Amino acid sequence: MKKAFFGFFAALMALAFTACTDIIKDQDMATVTGEVYYLQRIALPDNAKLTVTLADVSLADAPMDVISSQSYMTEGRQVPLPFSLTYSPSEIKPGHTYNVSARIEVDGQLMFISDTATHVINDPAKTQNVEIQVVSAIR
């Protein structure tokens, strides 16, 4: 009887520690939020796909290091389109520059893209309610 109780108690404690670890991990996450918009007076088709990326762009001669990315089908929704990028603050390096960028594709073809640097994280005031303007990629 004691062995069965000990086994049950050990399993219960392991489950409790696992649950606590997940809660701590969620609390350690940070978020960049905002909206993507464009000025053209045209509607997006139902099958448009928005992709927003948070990246370390500190090194000019190296590929950007993607920290977080979110993609979703707009399903008829129109601009402004909201986004929320979750990242771990432990991935942020002091002195580095972080940027959010956006693109809208239709059937795999690029329709809109951000062409201006939108820096975030280093200035907490510019990390929430970020506005990213995208411009037409069709020439």
Task: Provide the whole-model pTM.
Answer: 0.78
C-alpha 102/C-alpha 99 separation (Å) is 10
Among 2-16, 70-84, 114-128, top mean pLDDT goes to 70-84
Among 14-18, 24-28, 39-43, 59-63, top mean pLDDT goes to 39-43
How do residues 47-106 score in pLDDT, each as one tens digit? 999 999 999 999 988 899 999 999 999 999 999 999 999 999 999 999 999 999 999 999
User: What's the chain's average pLDDT?
Assistant: 87
Which 8-state DSSP code applies to residue 45?
P
pLDDT at 132: 98
Cα 29 from chain centroid (whole Å): 11
What residue type is assigned to position 40 of the chain? Q
Which domains, from first to last, does the chain contain?
29-136 (2.60.40.2990)
Nearest to 31 by CA among 130, 131, 117, 132: 130
C-alpha 106/C-alpha 81 separation (Å) is 15
pLDDT at 13: 52
Q: pLDDT band at 5, cuts 50/70/90?
A: very low
Cα three-residue angle 73-78-80, rounded to 5 degrees: 100
What residue type is assigned to position 138 of the chain? I
Find out whether 31 and 85 touch, Cβ atoms under 8 Å. Answer: yes
Nearest to 67 by CA among 108, 25, 97: 97
Find out whether 69 and 52 touch, Cβ atoms under 8 Å. Answer: yes
C-alpha 119/C-alpha 101 separation (Å) is 9
